[in-house]
Chains A and B, each alone.
Chain A
Amino acid sequence: MSHLHAWLVAVDWIPWLLGPPLAHATLAFLLGPRLARLLALPVLVLGLVAASGLALRVLELGPQVHALGGWGAPLGIELYADGLAALMLWMTAAIGLAVGCYSLAFFSADDRRGTYFWPLAAFLIGAMNALYLSADLFNLYVTLELMGLAAVGLVALSSGAAALAAALRYLLAALLGSLLYLLGVALVYGNQGSLALAGLSLEANLLSSLIIALMTLGLAIKTALFPLHFWLPPAHGGAPAPVSALLSALVIKASFYLLLRLWFELFLPAINLPAAQFLGLLGAGAILWGSWLALQQRELKMLVAYSTVAQVGYLFLLFPLASFAPGAEAAWNGGVYHALSHGFAKAAMFLVAGAMLFAAGHGEIRRLGGLGQQLPLGMFTFALASVSLMGLPPSGGFIAKWLLLEAALASGQWWWILVMMVGGLLSAAYLFRVLRQAFLPTPADTRFRRPPAMLVGSAFLLSLVALGLGLWANGTLALLRVGAPFTEMTP
């Protein structure tokens, strides 16, 4: 055990998080789906090992810097990983592995969609890893753009006019988002003459306000913050289940991560309270409006997609909650914890929704009665993921909610407490619309097919991680503290 531990800490894992997925993507594209399937598991397992090793290394040795090809900044590209980045990388690797296992069963070897799925998914993972490791604004732009293009390609996998329209809408939103971000980058460069995140800091003036507005708007579009969420439900709800899981759990978190980095490193001196409160207000709107729409949905996957719109809202409560000294660290921890636990819970939920669709042959919620008997583990998985999304113990979602509420109370911002309470109850209301089906008899006209065991199994494992985040919060938070902007210790 100690040998393994020492080895994990000793290796510089950063290149291993970039090379293998990008190589996999290229090979999959060149040599076809058969080889892509063969390579998928080794590459994804290697990814998880590398992400775990990096997390351990960051925890024990502090933030890690890797000069790509031996060339440091400002000439070469310097990669950087602190606790936050390590956690996001680990989430990407773990969910990536589960989705990979799922997809091997979901796309049969001769499925046309599989031909494109493997290169695009591998490329997506590589791009996200690169984003988390990047430390200057231009590289962040490049990775953001690559990620967006791969994601749009994945959405277009579903055939049919609706899927194509969703993909097109997503493409436009993604391009608009990165364009706004790029404008901001250009203004920063013109003003400061440097793009490396470390050492940059904006002064409070009109130009800075413009930069903040542009970049925040661009990333808010990509994160699907209310009222800019229009593109998300059709894209996430219409894509094949493994793609929905990747998009809802991971892709929107990457742009949120970038926003966090910018606000708490680059923008911090130039930010005023109303701006933070405004972002929180949009978050509150997302929670209420997204939940309300989730309540109205008839299709299972659309319900889950609108739930994502609502859950994104909690992420944006971080900004107002972290703007006062008391509670800032709790808010930061809570927001990131929410990103993590939502990632695992939502990936599990989309995957299991795919299995349910497979089993029932349709996704109409009202006619899903009997699934409790036909797919008991699947229903249980859905329930576990729901517990985390509702913020009930024991789950990662509960820890996140606890921390966010703690921050709201400590800083005296009681209005966010009301939003979170109502949001929690609304999420219970829409999730129990599905869960109650477990107790209903099978409709007469429904014939069930047994889905491959891997479909439910991989979703179940992810829901267990969402649960586990609620039990091992101490270690996770210790990792998050490495290199964090708020380092005051809670008593």
Chain B
Amino acid sequence: MSGGAWLPLLVLASSLFAGLIIFALPEASQRLRSSLNLAAALAKLGLVAMMLWGVYLGQQYEARYTLMPGIDFVLRADALAMLLVTLSAVLWLFTTVYAIGYLEGSPHRSRFFGFFSLCVTATMGLALAGNLFTFFMFYELLTLSTYPLVVHRGTGQALRAGKLYLGYTLTGGAVLLVGIIWLHGLAGNVEFVHGGALSNLDPALHGELVLIFILLIAGLGVKAALVPLHGWLPVAMVAPAPVSALLHAVAVVKAGAFGIVRVVYEVYGIEFAADLNLLLPLAVVASITIVYGSLRALSQNDLKKRLAYSTVSQVSYIVLGTSLFGPVGTIGGLVHLAHQGIMKITLFFCAGNLAETLHIHRVSEMNGVGRRMPWTMTAFTIAAFGMIGVPPMAGFISKWYLGLGALNSGMDWVLLVLVASTLLNAAYFLPVLHAAWFKPQQGPWPEEKPRGQFETSAWLLLPPLITAALTIAVGLFAALAISPLEWARIITLREYVR
């Protein structure tokens, strides 16, 4: 254990303790709560930056604690972990700013921000988890800490959504747990290691390993919203906008996708998974999800629901990239983990702005909104173009590498999926943009808030503008050492070259 155990622990503690203190704060002490939130988010960002630099230089950060005989609780900062950790730390800061503005004057904010912090802690924890046991602990903690956020408004619709969400995720968790314990029985304490650790097991166990793989992917697939396990996601969008942003961009769906990446690369190992013929079925499931999600998005009038189905589709790009054998496909999947987060959080921020400022919830109400809220819609447009894959934005980079990866791994049919998905992306995003920018306004806005200095509160406007700028920047400066693409290259290098 060289380097330090304290850095990963501090990264968790920075939001855990912030959350616990916020729970205890009285509802009225708004200034203190907001300062604490922002201070914690900034502190975490600083700690993550330190750790990122260390990992880049090849430092090891590991905290280990023996929980039961034969079972360790392990936090380890490797290159893959840092991808999700950095993404969450950055987006958490913006979401915190946004949420402070969004929830201004609404009740139960101590509860909201408390669980919000716990949710980020859980995401950080599962990103840093060094084995499946630790991963599972945070995976379930994430379920429990997001439930209060989903039902936050306390309406009948929210509570029903929460019930569905719990039903799906707890069942998924139970299936995942059985898979993990089964694997534990066969292979002992399975740590995440580059290239996986299972390939040297007795070939007689291969049949069981395939079953375990199915259990693990099914358990993780619930959160990753793989079809047909995606049913909770479009319903859970009743949550407040910052929650949807968090759920769709960094926390819940990413937990599932990230888990799948870990299982394929660092538990089974991509070569061993290929030997067991597991990659093709995974690619097929991901492809079906991509096309199905896009098709469903087409017919949604509710803006957030359209975005939710878009998430169903886009998250599976990550799974698809994971299932393409060969470094290029891996890069495509990993880089999309970051890119999808940045783009999708922008879209949800913007949808939240429309709802908060003008009470617009439906696509059909968006005619002419570009003139009333030009900045918001600019951000929305950039993110939507990114999703479609217009160069030089984030989504283009992802799709480029995925396509190349598909060709390299001999799965040429994946190109068709990518083309179809791109066309569908365009088909459900362009009409929205067209309505917003080119159609005239029809009647007054449903419920307009008084206009301030900007088109909406600065707290609400700034975060989407920054993340929209990031959407362009990560594509434009993809060759820079600090871009997600370059980081994905580093991970892939460490994954394939042992």
Contact = CB atoms under 8 A, between A and B. Distances in A.
Task: Tell me if chain B binds chain A.
Answer: yes
Interface of A: 372-373, 376, 380, 387, 390, 392-394, 398-399, 401-403, 405-406, 409-410, 417, 421, 424-425, 428, 432, 436, 438-441, 471, 473-474, 477, 489-491
Please list the 7 inter-chain residue pairs (A to B) with the smallest Cβ-Cβ separation, ordered nearest first.
A393-B137, A439-B154, A421-B174, A473-B68, A490-B70, A439-B151, A405-B181
A424 B177 CA distance: 12
Contacts of B175: 421
Nearest to A373: B108
Nearest to B139: A393
Interface stretch (B53-61, B75-83, B162-170, B319-327): B162-170
B151 A421 contact: no
B182 interface: yes
Given A398-B137, A403-B68, 6 more contacts: A402-B177, A402-B181, A425-B167, A428-B166, A439-B154, A491-B188
Nearest to A473: B68
A409 B181 contact: yes
Interface string B181-202: 1101100100000000000000
Contacts of B188: 491
Contacts of A489: 69
Contacts of A417: 178
B66 interface: yes
B1 interface: no
Contact of A387 (B66, B144, B178): B144
Interface band, chain B: 35 or more
B202 to A, nearest CB: 16
Given A409-B182, A439-B154, A424 B70 contact: no
Given A439-B152, A439-B154, A393 B136 contact: yes
A491 B182 CA distance: 15
Contact of A372 (B70, B111, B137): B111
B141 interface: yes
Contacts of A432: 163, 166
A441 B137 contact: no
B69 A436 contact: no
Interface centre among B68, B152, B154, B178 (most CB of A within 10 A): B68
Contacts of B143: 392
A405 B67 contact: no
Given A387-B144, A421-B178, A399 B68 contact: yes
Contacts of A401: 177
A189 B121 CA distance: 60
Contact of A406 (B167, B173, B185): B185
A477 B69 contact: yes
Nearest to A380: B23
B159 interface: yes
Given A425-B171, A439-B154, A439-B159, A392 B66 contact: no
Contacts of B144: 387, 392
30 contacts: A392-B140, A392-B144, A393-B141, A394-B137, A401-B177, A402-B177, A405-B181, A406-B181, A406-B184, A406-B185, A417-B178, A421-B174, A421-B178, A425-B167, A425-B171, A428-B166, A428-B170, A436-B162, A436-B163, A439-B152, A439-B154, A440-B159, A441-B154, A471-B67, A473-B68, A474-B68, A474-B69, A477-B68, A477-B69, A490-B70
B148 interface: yes
Contacts of B162: 436, 439
Contacts of A441: 154
A473 B163 CA distance: 31
Contacts of A409: 178, 181-182, 185
Interface centre among A425, A436, A473, A489 (most CB of B within 10 A): A436
A424 B174 contact: yes
A398 B73 CA distance: 14
B346 to A, nearest CB: 29
Contact of A425 (B70, B136, B163, B170): B170
A477 B167 CA distance: 32
Given A372-B111, A394-B137, A471-B67, A436 B151 contact: yes
A369 B312 CA distance: 34
A460 B144 CA distance: 18
Contacts of A390: 170
Contacts of A410: 185
A87 to B, nearest CB: 15
A394 B177 CA distance: 13
Interface centre among A376, A424, A432 (most CB of B within 10 A): A432
B159 A436 contact: yes
Contact of A474 (B66, B148, B182): B66
A437 to B, nearest CB: 10
Given A392-B140, A402-B181, A409-B181, A425 B174 contact: yes
A440 B174 contact: no
B181 A393 contact: no
Contacts of B140: 392-393
Contacts of A473: 67-68
Contacts of A402: 68, 177, 181
Contacts of A403: 68
A424 B431 CA distance: 45
A118 B136 CA distance: 44
Interface centre among A401, A402, A471, A489 (most CB of B within 10 A): A402
Contacts of B163: 432, 436
